[in-house]
Each structure stands twice: as structure tokens, then as C-alpha cells.
Amino acid sequence: MSDPILSVSGLRSGYDAGDVLREVSLSLAPTEIVGVIGRNGAGKSTLMRTLIGLLKSRGGRIHFDGAELTGLPAEERARKGLGYVPQGRFIFPDLTVHENLRTGRFIGRALDFELIYATFPVLKERRRQIAGTLSGGQQEMLAIARALIAGPKLLLLDEPSEGVQPSIVQEIGEALLTLNRERGLSVLIVEQNLDLMQHVAQRAYALDKGGITAELGREQIADEALLTEYLSV
């Protein structure tokens, strides 16, 4: 069995009020799509922000693609091949679609416009359009595309379905599966949309009160009643 592309052990992090993540350990194999599920406030976004380096870890270790990331700033993690799409998208609304995509050059990796426009054709059609005038779903596509354009090995994806119409959620799901199958992209996805999680994830971790409470296999992910149990308030 190949070494994991991401290995997290004993991770702790949080904010001024105290720790949110408590001794979180998880791993991701190369080319895997793994979900993270849990109630609101369970620590899912805190986990993603800590993995990318926007929040400093207070304990534990993060290894990615054979290198230790613990202590590295976010830009260094991005240069090593970690992509991140935050909850709420955070595109540059006053720039065009194409200009948003070009911001990927700041991490110093080659930009693959051909891949992006093949994956999300609507972005090619609207490449001269001001990003803030796109629909919510198109803005989510742009946020994902901006993270993908520099060719990350692992994509951290936080709630991509939030505020997005179902047809575009389905399109995003298909794009992730295609990139996983054809490009070997690994994905760690936080998601409360059961349909999307069941469609793309090969397994999932359940997070509650800042700790991993269960690891779910493919059959368990297919059990809607079980997933709902982990997501319910």
C-alpha cells in the first residue's frame, strides 16, 4: 500500500477562546476523495484552515507528500501542491474571470488554463466577465478553478455546495470525479450536501466537538439515515 499523501496526527488548533480541534488524526491516500462530515460548529472549517496554514496549529503534526508542513506558512504549503477553496468562495469580485485565475501565478507554479476551461467551459465563455456578476454557482466554479489552475496534488474543499443550485452542484461533483480519475487529484471535502458526499467520497471522517468520532466506509456513506445522524444538530 502506498504512503499517504496527507497524514495528520494529534492536531490541535483554535482561536483566542481556546482549542477547537482536539487531537485530530486522519490520513488520505494518493488519488483518494475523502469527506469530512459533522454538525455546524464541529470544527470542520477550522480543520481546513489549519491544514492550509491560515490557522497556526497548537500541537500535532501535518505531513504532506513526504514533507512536514507543520509550522510552514500558507503560501509555502500552496507551493508544495496543496490547494484550498474556503467556505464562501472569496473570489476577487472586481476582477474578470481570467484575472481571478491569473492570481494563481503568485504561488510560482505554471498555470493550466487549458485544463480549467475544459473542466468548466462556462468560465471560458465568461472569461472577460467581472467575477462579481457571476451566479453563485459560477463563482464557486471559479473559486475551485483558481485553486486547481496551478496543478495541486491535493485539494481542500470547504462546503462547495453552499448557496449553489443543484445542477451546478452535480456538475462540480462530476468535475471532481473526472479530475480524480484522469489527473490523480486527491480531495479532502467538507460537505453537508448528502447527495454530493455520497456521489464523490470513497470514505469519510465524522467530526464532532473538535475530534474524530468515526471513520465511514463507502457502504456507510451510502446509508442516508446514518449520515443524517452525524449531521443533525
Question: What DSSP string describes 12-61?
Answer: EEEETTEEEEEEEEEEE-TT-EEEEE--TTSSHHHHHHHHHTSS--SEEE
18 confidence band (pLDDT: 50, 70, 90): confident
Question: Is the pLDDT assigned to residue 160 strictly greater than 70?
Answer: yes
Q: Which of 9-13, 88-92, 190-194 has the lowest mean pLDDT?
A: 88-92
Rounded-to-integer distance, Cα 39 and Cα 5, Å: 27
Across residues 80-106, what is the average pLDDT? 90
- Mean pLDDT taken over the chain: 93
In this predicted structure, what is the pLDDT of residue 108? Answer: 62
Question: Is the pLDDT assigned to residue 220 strictly greater than 90?
Answer: yes
233 confidence band (pLDDT: 50, 70, 90): low
Rounded-to-integer distance, Cα 27 and Cα 9, Å: 9
Question: Is the pLDDT assigned to residue 89 strictly greater than 90?
Answer: no
163 confidence band (pLDDT: 50, 70, 90): confident
Across residues 116-143, what is the average pLDDT? 95
Percent of the chain surpassing pLDDT 90: 83
In this predicted structure, what is the pLDDT of residue 1? Answer: 52
88 confidence band (pLDDT: 50, 70, 90): confident
